Amino acid sequence: MAKYSHRMVPEIFQTFWSGMAAGEFITGAAEAAGSYRKQGARWLAACGGVRPRRGRNLKGRCLTFAEREEIAIGIAAGHTLRDIAKALNRSPSTISREIARNREPSGRYRARSAHAAAYHRASRPKPSKLATNPSLRETVEKSLTERHSPEQIAGRLRLDFPDDPQMRVSTETIYQSLYQPS
């Protein structure tokens, strides 16, 4: 079973990061997110001081933690799926799929465990193109030792391998391989 964390709730976690981006102190940003300074310091340390991309701008496509709580309350009150969907302004099929996918093994629906399960299922443990293509990795590493920039490398790959899409890589992928811990 997936473990719940505040980082899974963008309404809380991203509020903290918005405050930090606006220049607030950790205390102020954590209070704006409904938390406390020590938790804000933990969030900052866990992300290495860099705002995580995950959880930003979902724009209503994914169910929020608050909506999952409303679903759990509606089920406990004995409301129908259509009533719950109408209250949340969502499709009944969305509510039905949510309950079916994120129900606990015991059959109960709880917002915390449902949100954790959905968050972990949405994660993409997709390996980097540089990790899966040894010849591309070798070419990029050779160019980096020659002190070429990621922009130069990406452009050069397009010229050297015009007909091979497997030998193309974005500059962001090169930067991630340079600066992300393995």
In the structure, what pLDDT confidence band is assigned to residue 19 with cuts at 50, 70 and 90? confident
Taking the alpha carbons of 41, 45, 51, 52 in that order, is the dihedral positive or negative?
A: negative
Distance of CA 162 to the CA centre of its chain: 33
Interval 100-133: pLDDT, tens: 999 988 989 999 888 888 877 776 666 778 888 8
Q: Identify which of 26-40, 112-126, 149-163 has the greatest average pLDDT.
A: 149-163
**Stretch 52-80: mean pLDDT, rounded?**
81
pLDDT of residue 15: 80
Record the tokens describing residue 79, joined without a space: 């409301």
Summarize the confidence of residues 72-95 as an average pLDDT.
94
State how far the Cα of 36 lies from the Cα of 107, in Å rounded to an integer.
35
pLDDT at 156 over 90: yes
| Tokens, residue 40 | 């804000």
The encoded tokens of residue 68 equal 């999952």
Provide the token pair at 30: 């954590």
Task: State CA 67 to chain mean position distance.
Answer: 18
Angstrom distance (rounded) from CA 175 to CA 128: 12
Q: What is the mean pLDDT of the chain?
A: 84
What confidence score (pLDDT) does residue 22 get? 84
C-alpha of 15 from chain center? 15
